[in-house]
Chain A
Amino acid sequence: MGTLNFVVLIPFLAAMLIPLFYKKGTRLHIGLLPMIVAVSLFSYLLFYIPQIANGKTFLHTISWIPSYGINFTAYLDGLSLILALLITGIGTLVILYSIYYLSENEQLGHFYTYLMLFMGAMLGVVLSDNMMVLYVFWELTSISSFLLIAFWYQRKRSREGAQKSLLITVSGGFGMLIGFLMIYTMTGTLSVREVIQIMPEMTGHGLFVPAMLLVLFGAFTKSAQFPFHIWLPDAMEAPTPVSAYLHSATMVKAGIYLVARFTPVFGGEGIWFWIVTGVGLFTLFWGSFQAVRQTDLKALLAFSTISQLGMIMSMFGMGSVALHFGYSTESVFYSQATFAALFHLVNHSTFKGALFMAVGIVDHEVGTRDIRRLGGLATIMPITFTVSLIGSFSMAGLPPFNGFLSKEMFFQAAVDITELGVFHMDTIGNLIPIVAWVASIFTFVYSMIIVFQTFLGPYKEERLERPANEGPGGMLISPVILAGLVVLIFLMPNMLGNYIIRPAVESVFPTLVTEMNLGVEISAWHGLNTALWMTIGVIVLGILLYSFPRAWRWIYAIFPIGWSLNTLYNFTLEQSVKSSRKFTNSYMTGLLRHYLMYIYLFFILLVAGAFALTGSYDFTISGNAEISIFEWIIALTLIIAAISILFAKSRLTAILLNSVLGYGVALLFVIFRAPDLALTQMVIETVTTVLFLVAYYFLPEWKKENESRRINLSKLLISIGFGASFTAVALAVQNNRLFDRISTYFENSYELAGGRNIVNTILSDFRGFDTMLEVVVLLIAGIGVYSIIKLKAGNRGDKFENQ
């Protein structure tokens, strides 16, 4: 029960156990544990191949948050099987390689923990059927990748690369999450399988296109498509096993997987076709174009990865048109592009993994990966040379390696797509094979650079850090196995095609499965067709370009170095920090007055705005009590006294004027039938006046405020505005009683509380809590006053600062 879910959970379990074993200090290498995990998962998954090839799928659900429809559902079909096999298979080889690659002095416990975390997260991404769970694992891959890139966290460049990749992939992840939520809004389910059933009816929905764009945004950032590819070259600061595993074989394929998985959801629409194909093709071209100018082998491989991912992406785009037609002979014709994409996905993982490992060996043995310092290693490192040769030639698309087959199919698909009758294909569609062809020429050139400039030519020992030697046997096992696979797949492509790729194509086109066989018979020799002529052209032109670099290298000078997306990224990052700091400093002045002004202005705008917008201003004076002459006099006195405070020359005048206000208020309380209030007010006002006098005796003299006219004017305007809006609110509410007052209840105070003074019974009986806490306030204030005066902290703070 739920065995499939354990495939995802076991790596996490291993990640928890690794530190435990690492601390024990056993003599066995700590890498053995993850290795065993990866091998057993791989072999376990192998057993599914025959059943999957027969069209079966597997589904296991573990309930997680059922009330929200979020369950940990593991779903295995052809597409997830391919990815899961790549993850565990290449994972095994990478762990084996890293056991020999990393020195015992490194923090291996951390390394393998992160790696296992990543493996589990990646398996979670490809095996999850629930979109929310998929998203959780998706972010986990971002985080574990971040940790692995910054494995050598002492280096600045590692930290920067990790930060960049995290920022880009996580923002893509957020976009994707929003896209998922939109899909949920449209379909009401979080299960991808159910979404595929419902979605074709939703193409007219307003959220359809935004959801599509956001999901693609997530996929493109993860798979390093243009213009989000810039994190991948910087991620090369990671240890080489990480680069080989994450940044060529697995994590960057998560975006590809997402596009493949959501092709039946969104595919068949022109916008999906053009975005996926267009971005893929441009990335293919741009990556290969940029790869040629790199001098660092890993950077070169990074750009080549970007380029190859673009190629796979574009093929998925071309394949998606098969959904447009429903079932017909034409749809078979176009679904072959998807077959080619999945085929190349596998091929790319094999040869790129091998190449990264070979580069790692070179770096490990001679201490540099700068191609200007390398050369003539072929006789010294024959095995590494052979592996690189196989990998590069396969990448360039030469026989007898698997890259040749996938490139042929790619060209075939690009030519076929021009015959498509829809989506404006007759005009700009013709560009597709041309771009693909040009990009392949560059691919050929940089593939040649990897092999020939590293391994042929003169041996420059004086420029190397260590004299070259063949790498240790253990390190060579994994690249040799991968290179062997490269040749094996070329020799027996249909084995892979029938058992693994065909079921995967079927899961990309679930609607077409029942109608026909989507498999493609791959053969190395089709006869002399267009695709083969294109390959011959690539080889001829590629050799010419490689031989005469001076003749065409000037095109790189057209774009100045500064004009890169990296510059834009750095500029944005710098500016956002700088401008937010500037913005904060501009209004956080530290001056009380400014903060008060913001508060007042906000209040004024809110109140005035509310009155202006709602038009609810209602002002009546009908219920007013009449005013006697005596009250007029008091009110006018108070107004005059208040205004005079502003013009007071000395602090004594100001304090006395304030007392006038206080006693005036007490008088008003008398008139308003509030004897207790009048009493309290009188006493308190007296004490306050005394307090003011005492305190002001110790404070400096009341000076005239020498402030600019502008400040005085703004103070005046704000005060008047605030006072006016305050008055407006008070006037508006004064006669709008919604309910009767509740005070009739308190008039029973004698029956209920045994007191005749209603105010006092309220204070001590009905609402005694208020009074209790008010007493506490007074107490705290008293303690505060006492401690402020008595306790001297002294100048200790200064002393510490001066030390």
Chain B
Amino acid sequence: METLMIILTGVLVTIATYLVLSKSVIRVILGTAVYSHAAHLLIITMGGLKKGNVPILGDDDVSTFVDPLPQALILTSIVISFAVTALVLVLAYRAYQTLGTDNMEELRGRKYE
């Protein structure tokens, strides 16, 4: 299972990298979103998969739980990446409104034209 997950994250990373290297801002932002999916999956995979119960102490006597620490880390990470994505999207919107382009090559400034 872990190996499959890692291959899945590898594919996601490849796709995200290709998107980030694009010319249009939209694709770059989408690439970062895909990156964060890959990262979250990788973190939980590294904690070990499925060998235990949901990390909630119930009345029933269960002795093993899956690792709760990666889950806490991911929860933090999800929120942060959401905040950043929102900010970047608004930034792209504003840049397009002001500059009239979403092409990275045109966005690099007058010096290079």
A interface residues (Cβ-Cβ under 8 A, vs B) = 589-593, 596-597, 600, 621, 623-627, 631-632, 635, 638-639, 642-643, 645-646, 651, 654-655, 658, 661-662, 665, 668-669, 671-677, 680-681, 684, 687-688, 691-692, 695-696, 698-700, 702-703, 705, 707, 715-716, 718-720, 722-724, 726-727, 730-731, 733-735, 741-743, 746-747, 749-750, 756-759, 762-763, 767, 770-771, 774, 777-778, 780-782, 784-785, 788-789
Contact, CB under 8 Å: B96 / A722:
no
Contact, CB under 8 Å: B94 / A788:
yes
A698 — which chain B residues lie within 8 A by C-beta?
A: 93, 96-97
Contact, CB under 8 Å: A672 / B44:
yes
Q: Distance in Å from the Cβ of B60 to the closest Cβ of chain A?
A: 12
Contact, CB under 8 Å: A672 / B49:
yes
B83 — which chain A residues lie within 8 A by C-beta?
A: 777-778, 780-782
Chain B facing A: main interface SS: helix
Selected contact of A756 from candidates B21, B58, B89, B102, CB within 8 Å:
B58
For window 27-86 of B, CB contacts with A under 8 Å fall at: 27-28, 30, 33-34, 37, 40-42, 44-58, 65-69, 71-72, 74-76, 78-80, 82-86
Known: A673-B53, A702-B26, A777-B79. A625 touches B37 (CB 8 A): no
Contact, CB under 8 Å: A727 / B76:
no
Q: Distance in Å from the Cβ of A429 to the closest Cβ of chain B?
A: 62
Contact, CB under 8 Å: B69 / A703:
no
A731 — which chain B residues lie within 8 A by C-beta?
A: 3, 6
Contact, CB under 8 Å: B11 / A730:
no
- In order of increasing CB-CB distance, the 3 nearest A-B pairs are A723-B14, A727-B10, A781-B83
CA distance A733 to B26 in the complex (A): 34
B22 nearest in chain A by CB position: A705
CA distance A692 to B89 in the complex (A): 7
Q: Distance in Å from the Cβ of B99 to the closest Cβ of chain A?
A: 12
Known: A658-B33, A731-B6. A722 touches B13 (CB 8 A): yes
Contact, CB under 8 Å: B86 / A785:
yes
Contact, CB under 8 Å: B67 / A730:
no
Contact, CB under 8 Å: B14 / A719:
yes
Contact, CB under 8 Å: A590 / B109:
yes
CA distance A780 to B87 in the complex (A): 9
Contact, CB under 8 Å: A785 / B55:
no
CA distance A340 to B108 in the complex (A): 69
CA distance A770 to B105 in the complex (A): 38
Selected contact of B72 from candidates A624, A669, A747, A763, CB within 8 Å:
A763
B40 nearest in chain A by CB position: A665
Contact, CB under 8 Å: B21 / A597:
yes
Selected contact of B66 from candidates A635, A673, A777, CB within 8 Å:
A673
Contact, CB under 8 Å: B68 / A684:
no
Contact, CB under 8 Å: A590 / B112:
yes
CA distance A654 to B34 in the complex (A): 11
Contact, CB under 8 Å: B33 / A688:
yes
Contact, CB under 8 Å: A688 / B23:
no
Given contact pairs A642-B15, A695-B93, A726-B13, enumerate 19 new A-B contacts (beta carbons under 8 Å): A589-B108, A591-B112, A624-B3, A645-B34, A654-B30, A661-B12, A661-B34, A672-B66, A674-B44, A692-B89, A695-B92, A696-B26, A698-B96, A719-B17, A723-B10, A741-B48, A758-B55, A758-B57, A758-B68
CA distance A654 to B65 in the complex (A): 37
Contact, CB under 8 Å: B37 / A665:
yes
A662 — which chain B residues lie within 8 A by C-beta?
A: 37
A675 nearest in chain B by CB position: B54
B78 — which chain A residues lie within 8 A by C-beta?
A: 677, 680-681, 684
A757 nearest in chain B by CB position: B56
Contact, CB under 8 Å: B82 / A624:
no
Contact, CB under 8 Å: A646 / B18:
yes
A684 — which chain B residues lie within 8 A by C-beta?
A: 78-79, 82
CA distance A638 to B5 in the complex (A): 11
Interchain residue pairs with CB less than 8 A apart (7) = A643-B15, A672-B66, A692-B89, A719-B18, A730-B6, A759-B68, A778-B82
A680 — which chain B residues lie within 8 A by C-beta?
A: 75, 78-79
Contact, CB under 8 Å: A759 / B12:
no
Contact, CB under 8 Å: A646 / B19:
yes
B49 nearest in chain A by CB position: A625
> How many residue pairs bridge A and B at CB < 8 Å?
262
Contact, CB under 8 Å: B23 / A758:
no
CA distance A778 to B81 in the complex (A): 9
B104 — which chain A residues lie within 8 A by C-beta?
A: 591-593
Q: Distance in Å from the Cβ of A783 to the closest Cβ of chain B?
A: 10
Selected contact of B87 from candidates A593, A724, A784, CB within 8 Å:
A784
Contact, CB under 8 Å: B66 / A762:
no
Most A C-beta atoms less than 10 A away, residue of B5, B24, B52, B68: B68
CA distance A703 to B9 in the complex (A): 27
Known: A673-B52, A749-B57. A658 touches B30 (CB 8 A): yes
A764 nearest in chain B by CB position: B72
B90 — which chain A residues lie within 8 A by C-beta?
A: 695, 784-785, 788-789
Contact, CB under 8 Å: B69 / A774:
no
Contact, CB under 8 Å: A759 / B71:
yes
A640 nearest in chain B by CB position: B11
Contact, CB under 8 Å: A774 / B18:
no
Contact, CB under 8 Å: B2 / A624:
yes
B93 — which chain A residues lie within 8 A by C-beta?
A: 695, 698-699, 789
CA distance A626 to B3 in the complex (A): 10
Q: Distance in Å from the Cβ of A522 to the closest Cβ of chain B?
A: 71
Contact, CB under 8 Å: B68 / A746:
yes
A735 nearest in chain B by CB position: B2
Contact, CB under 8 Å: B37 / A691:
no
Q: Distance in Å from the Cβ of A618 to the closest Cβ of chain B?
A: 14
CA distance A534 to B74 in the complex (A): 92
A723 — which chain B residues lie within 8 A by C-beta?
A: 10-11, 13-15, 17
Contact, CB under 8 Å: B111 / A590:
yes
CA distance A591 to B78 in the complex (A): 29
Q: Distance in Å from the Cβ of B81 to the closest Cβ of chain A?
A: 9
Contact, CB under 8 Å: A631 / B4:
yes
CA distance A767 to B75 in the complex (A): 12
B33 nearest in chain A by CB position: A658
A651 — which chain B residues lie within 8 A by C-beta?
A: 26
CA distance A735 to B89 in the complex (A): 38
B3 — which chain A residues lie within 8 A by C-beta?
A: 621, 624, 731, 734
B85 nearest in chain A by CB position: A688
A701 nearest in chain B by CB position: B26
CA distance A733 to B3 in the complex (A): 11
Contact, CB under 8 Å: B67 / A741:
yes
Contact, CB under 8 Å: A724 / B10:
yes
A695 nearest in chain B by CB position: B89
A631 nearest in chain B by CB position: B1
A674 — which chain B residues lie within 8 A by C-beta?
A: 44, 54, 66, 71, 74
Contact, CB under 8 Å: A673 / B28:
no
B30 — which chain A residues lie within 8 A by C-beta?
A: 645, 654-655, 658, 692
Contact, CB under 8 Å: B75 / A781:
no
CA distance A185 to B111 in the complex (A): 51
Known: A651-B26, A677-B74, A758-B68. A672 touches B86 (CB 8 A): no
Most A C-beta atoms less than 10 A away, residue of B48, B50, B55: B55
Contact, CB under 8 Å: A727 / B6:
yes
A632 nearest in chain B by CB position: B4
